[in-house]
């Protein structure tokens, strides 16, 4: 069952103003629970269970916890001697708890304005997410085609319901901190990591939904996700070429440049090189070039691969393998990868392979 709540009439605009003031005052949790012995230890902890925010002992079936919460977040309310615990979604608020310690799932929580939204998530939305994860795992791990084909329709249906439910939740509760938590949770569990969807949903949030660690984390994910994204300006870089001379991306401004991340030890990269060679030879006289960025560690292996694959365009590397500074700047976590930069320095395409690379260059340089 969903917890019972006293109705909140202030709304989320009031919550935003209240939490700004309450941050100076801290939180107070007044508990009046049945079936709880006197002198029972009760404590409130943060995201880390060892991070105790407040603790006290029960007296006459009641307790009061006071302290300072850094943010609206999930908090653990625990009675260790009774092996009982529950979660409160709260910040610096005046909260009243009533009910029975033997039925913490159904205690009444008053004053924690966003807590009912958290309970709605747990009761209605998280089971949908778990359902999606279950069938996604079946599809990913299926060795039998029939099993995979049987699971796919269920996965697709569950995923559509899950996504629709997220949209409806954040539209109804766009000022609730719980909406920020939901977006962070849904992106973290999304195998596709759809950044554009995250950004669209995040733009709906307002007020108190934006003043918490979940919103801060989402902003960071969106900002980092735009690095190397199509439509953004390419970040300039400088690295040494095969002769130890510095080469910068900005040197090629005015041309289309394919920045190609590869390595001598990368089989798929080497398999793709003939296509890049063909593209270079076809378009090199049409305001196009390639700039190779190698994630090699051995200079000899790098040079040998350049010669063997007939790579005649500029090549740079700091010979730091996956710690290559350019690769780290562009958040490169797998290769081959590439970005196509236009004459103004804007990224117009990325990860073009095979015929797709040739078609795109034909389109741009015809």
> Tell me: the pLDDT tens digits for 7-22?
332 344 344 444 444 4
Domain assignment of residue 10, yes or no: no
pLDDT, residue 229, reads 85
- Do residues 329 and 237 touch, judged by C-beta distance below 8 A? yes
Same-domain status, 199 and 247 = no
Of 111, 137, 155, the position where a domain reaches its end is 111
Same-domain status, 184 and 271 = no
Same-domain status, 106 and 191 = no
Strands 288-294 and 315-316, sheet pairing: parallel
Going by the DSSP 8-state scheme, the letter that residue 4 receives in this structure is P
Same-domain status, 245 and 356 = yes
Same-domain status, 103 and 161 = no
Between CA 354 and CA 279 the distance in angstroms is 9
Between CA 69 and CA 75 the distance in angstroms is 9
Q: pLDDT per residue over 259-316, tens digit each?
A: 999 999 999 999 999 999 999 999 999 999 999 999 999 999 999 999 999 999 999 9
Counting Cα atoms < 13 Å in the Cβ hemisphere of 245 gives: 3
Same-domain status, 214 and 243 = no
Same-domain status, 104 and 123 = no
**Where is mean pLDDT largest: 38-52, 112-126, 128-142, 249-263?**
249-263
Q: How many other β-carbons are positioned within 10 Å of the β-carbon of residue 264?
A: 20
Give the CATH number, domain containing residue 46. Answer: 2.60.40
Domain assignment of residue 12, yes or no: no
Whether residue 256 has pLDDT greater than 90:
yes
Same-domain status, 237 and 360 = yes
Q: How many other β-carbons are positioned within 10 Å of the β-carbon of residue 55?
A: 14
Q: pLDDT per residue over 154-199, tens digit each?
A: 888 888 888 899 999 999 999 999 999 999 988 887 767 788 899 9
Same-domain status, 258 and 324 = yes
Domain assignment of residue 15, yes or no: no
Q: pLDDT per residue over 64-105, tens digit each?
A: 999 999 889 999 999 999 999 999 999 999 999 999 999 998
Residues facing 78 on adjacent strands: 43, 85
Mean pLDDT computed over every residue of the chain: 89
Mean pLDDT of 207-235: 91
pLDDT, residue 24, reads 54
Q: pLDDT per residue over 307-350, tens digit each?
A: 999 999 999 999 999 999 999 999 998 999 999 999 999 999 99
Give the CATH number, domain containing residue 341. Answer: 3.40.30.10
Q: pLDDT per residue over 208-220, tens digit each?
A: 999 899 999 999 9
Of 92, 111, 130, the position where a domain reaches its end is 111
Same-domain status, 89 and 176 = no
pLDDT, residue 206, reads 96
Same-domain status, 205 and 255 = no
Whether residue 242 has pLDDT greater than 50:
yes
Between CA 44 and CA 323 the distance in angstroms is 41
Cβ neighbours for 329, distance < 8 A, ≥ 6 positions apart: 227, 235, 237
Domain assignment of residue 19, yes or no: no
Domain assignment of residue 3, yes or no: no
Count of structural domains within the chain:
3
Whether residue 205 has pLDDT greater than 80:
yes
Of 111, 138, 173, the position where a domain reaches its end is 111
- 322, two tokens: 């996956």
Q: What percent of the chain has pLDDT over 90?
A: 69
Range of the domain at 284: 232-365
Same-domain status, 85 and 71 = yes
Domain assignment of residue 266, yes or no: yes
């Amino acid at each position: 069952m969903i917890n019972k709540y006293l109705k909140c009439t202030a709304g989320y605009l009031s919550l935003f103003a209240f939490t700004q003031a309450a941050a100076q005052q801290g939180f107070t949790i007044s508990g009046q629970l049945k079936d709880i012995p006197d002198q029972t230890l009760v404590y409130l902890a943060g995201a880390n269970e060892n991070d105790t925010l407040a603790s006290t002992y029960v007296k006459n079936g009641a307790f009061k916890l006071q302290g300072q919460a850094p943010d609206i977040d999930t908090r653990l309310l625990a009675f260790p001697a009774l092996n009982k615990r529950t979660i409160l979604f709260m910040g610096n608020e005046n909260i009243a708890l009533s009910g029975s310690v033997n039925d913490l799932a159904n205690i009444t929580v008053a004053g924690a304005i966003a807590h009912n939204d958290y309970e709605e998530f747990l009761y209605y939305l998280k089971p949908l997410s778990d359902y999606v994860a279950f069938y996604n795992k079946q599809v990913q791990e299926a060795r039998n085609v029939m099993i995979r084909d049987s699971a796919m329709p269920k996965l697709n249906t569950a995923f559509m319901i899950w996504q629709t439910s997220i949209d409806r939740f954040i539209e109804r509760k766009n000022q609730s901190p719980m909406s920020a938590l939901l977006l962070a949770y849904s992106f973290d569990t999304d195998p596709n990591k759809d950044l554009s969807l995250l950004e669209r949903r995040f733009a709906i949030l307002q007020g108190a939904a934006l003043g918490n660690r979940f919103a801060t984390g989402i902003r960071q994910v969106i900002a980092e996700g735009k690095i190397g994204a199509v439509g953004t300006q390419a970040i300039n870089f400088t690295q040494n070429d095969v002769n130890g001379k510095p080469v910068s991306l900005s040197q090629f401004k005015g041309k289309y440049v394919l920045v190609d991340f590869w390595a001598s030890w990368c089989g798929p990269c080497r398999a793709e090189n003939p296509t890049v060679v063909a593209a270079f030879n076809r378009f090199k006289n049409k305001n196009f070039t390639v700039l190779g960025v190698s994630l090699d560690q051995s200079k000899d292996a790098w040079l040998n691969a350049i010669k063997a694959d007939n790579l005649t365009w500029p090549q740079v590397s700091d010979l730091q393998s996956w710690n290559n500074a350019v690769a780290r700047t562009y958040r490169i976590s797998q290769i081959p990868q590439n970005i196509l930069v236009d004459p103004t320095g804007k990224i117009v395409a990325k990860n073009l392979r095979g015929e797709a690379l040739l078609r795109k260059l034909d389109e741009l340089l015809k």
